[in-house]
Amino acid sequence: MYRKNVLTSLAAAATLSLLLSACANQAGPTTNDTSGATNKVNIPAVSKIDVPSGAVLPKGDGKATCPATTTLAYAGAQTGPNAQLGINIFNGIQLAINQHNAANPGCQVVFKKFDTEGDPNKATGPVTQVVSEPDTIGVIGLPFSGESKATGNIFEQKGLVHITPSATNPGLTGNGWTTFFRGLGNDAVQGPAAAKFLTGKLGAKKVYLVQDDSDYGIGLGTSTTAALGGALAGSDKVTTGQKDFSAVISKIMNSKADAVFYSGYYAEAAPFDQQLSGKGFTGTFVAPDGVKDDQFIKQAGDASSNAYFTCPCIPGELIPDFASAYKEVSKGVEPGTYSIEGYDAATVLLSGIDAGKQTRADLLSWVKTYDKDGLSKHYKWDAKGELQAPTVYGYKVENAKIVPIGPVGE
């Protein structure tokens, strides 16, 4: 699953900045007269991104040595209603470890996966198992905010560093943990960006906000609500596993909102959008990273054509060499939401191992002082485990695919 020419071209393709092509921002939204949604707008997709010229890659210098028992782990969803978001991540991790091991015969890092089903009530068991295995010196995960909140103390007690590529609830870094690091911007960044996207580029005058009962949905819903201000037409709550959304849809239709923002995950967002469209809603449906997945399109069907997404993640599918290498691991599937962030998080830990940081304490210290470019962004954490606020990107559904449309909220 590793090819030397892929890695060579990946390094050669890296350029100076991590910005979406400037041309994407030159064209403003225009009315899409062929859309079934009366206020659907047409924001052009982008087809190219650039990555830093000095981006750290998993292969290192090929001279690393480490004990044969050296282990990194993924803890997070492999099964469950929102499993695809976790699968995207561990495929990115697997690619990084494959590339590292192929280039470093003297350091063959073991990779283990632990399934939490994305459920905070079930996550403590797998995480307890992870931290009890002394050969595991670093973890990528957990993907979701609720399970991260439920397990942070377990990692802390064992001094085991873990980098989440996707958990965005702002409160996670306020728990005093020293082992938790967030590999992306939190929802205090994404919420205001989503609000500005809705009322700016999408031209929404009245936005109805619906949030689920997860820590993620609540945190993002709160920050987005505050940022919407007078544009908020109303709000309501739904629950994880809910199937019938008729009551909240009735409120939305009565509010005369021209856009809906859903704060939660795709398992509920898909039937919600489907039912919303079925009741005659012709506005825009906007959702965050927890919904931005091909599974949303598969489950929502034609109703998904009204959807846009926000995400503090970059479109890894637009880095050709990363995308082609990723598809070897994923059996032909393109990189998804947080695939490249999982890859980068694994690379941070692998580079520490290559530098001789091969105990839990040493690898934790390595991450605390890390200051290097990855493919997706610059990685340098503050004392709480937060990165500098990165760009939030917008995406839309076009021809039954999710395509990037450039930075939002700027």
Beta carbons within 10 angstroms of residue 225's beta carbon: 18
| One domain, residues 205 and 279 | yes
Q: Check residue 52 and give its pLDDT.
A: 82
Residues 182 and 118 in one domain: yes
- For residue 102, give both structure tokens: 């192929």
Which tens digits make up the pLDDT trace of 354-391? 999 999 999 999 999 999 999 999 999 999 999 986 78
Rounded to whole angstroms, how far apart are CA atoms 127 and 74? 10
Report the alpha-carbon distance of residue 371 to residue 378 in Å, rounded.
Answer: 7
Number of domains in the chain: 2
Residue 35 domain-assigned (yes or no): no
pLDDT-derived band at 74 (thresholds 50, 70, 90) equals very high
Please indicate, yes or no, whether residues 238 and 327 belong to a single structural domain of this protein.
no
Q: Residue 56 pLDDT more than 70?
A: yes
Q: What is the pLDDT of residues 259-282, one digit of tens each?
A: 999 999 999 999 999 999 999 999
- What is the structure's pLDDT at 7? 37
Report yes or no: 282 and 273 within 8 Å, Cβ to Cβ: no
Higher pLDDT, 316 or 25: 316
Co-location of 282 and 235 in the same domain: yes
Give the pLDDT score at 410: 67
Q: Is residue 34 part of a domain?
A: no
- The answer as to whether 53 is a domain residue is no
- Mean pLDDT lowest among 13-17, 201-205, 208-212, 344-348: 13-17
Q: Report which of residues 202 and 47 the model is more confident about.
A: 202
Structural domain includes residue 322:
yes
The answer to the question of residue 332 being in a domain is yes
Mean pLDDT of the chain: 90
Give dist(CA 67, CA 106) in Å, integer: 9
Tell me, what's the pLDDT at 161? 98
Q: Is residue 387 part of a domain?
A: no
Mean predicted confidence (pLDDT) in 154-159: 98
pLDDT (tens digit, 9 = 90+) per residue, 20-31?
A: 333 333 333 333
If you average pLDDT over residues 183-208, what whole number do you get? Answer: 96
Tell me: do 259 and 396 sit in the same domain: yes
15 has a pLDDT exceeding 50: no
Q: What is the mean pLDDT of residues 35-55?
A: 74
List of residues 6+ apart from 77 with CB closer than 8 A: 83, 85, 86, 87, 115, 116, 117, 118, 143, 144
What are the φ and ψ backbone dihedral angles of 248, each rounded to 5 degrees? -70, -35
Q: Is residue 31 part of a domain?
A: no
The answer on 359 and 230 residing in a single domain is no
pLDDT at 402 over 60: yes
- Tokens found for residue 406: 């450039």
Weakest mean pLDDT among 47-61, 65-79, 102-116, 195-209? 47-61
CATH code where residue 301 lies: 3.40.50.2300
| 307 and 320 inside one domain | no
Based on the domain organization, do 330 and 268 belong to the same domain? no
What is the domain extent for residue 240? 187-311+392-407
The percent of residues above 70 in pLDDT, for the chain, comes to 90
pLDDT attached to residue 67: 98
**According to the 3-state scheme, what is the secondary structure of the chain?**
CCCHHHHHHHHHHCCCCCCECHHHHCCCCEECCCCCCCCCEECCCCCCECCCCCCCCCCCCCCCCCCCCCEEEEEECCCCCCHHHHHHHHHHHHHHHHHHHHHCCCCCCEEEEEECCCCHHHHHHHHHHHHHCCCEEEEEECCCHHHHHHHHHHHHHHCCCEEECCCCCHHHHHCCCCCEEECCCCHHHHHHHHHHHHHCCCCCCCEEEEECCCHHHHHHHHHHHHHHHHHEEEEEECCCCCCCCHHHHHHHHHHCCCEEEEECCHHHHHHHHHHHHHCCCCCEEEECCCCCCHHHHHHHHHHHHHEEEEECCCCHHHCHHHHHHHHHHCCCCCCCCCHHHHHHHHHHHHHHHHCCCCCHHHHHHHHHCCCEECCCCEECECCCCCECCCCCEEEEEECCEEEEEEECCC
For residue 10, being part of any structural domain is answered with no
Same domain? For 306 and 166 the reply is: no
Overall average pLDDT of the 199-204 stretch: 96
Q: What distances in angstroms separate CA 221 from CA 139, 174, 215, 237, 285, one per listed residue? A: 28, 18, 10, 10, 15
Examine the domain organization and report whether 298 and 366 are in the same domain. no
Same domain, 165 and 105: yes
Residues 148 and 169 in one domain: yes
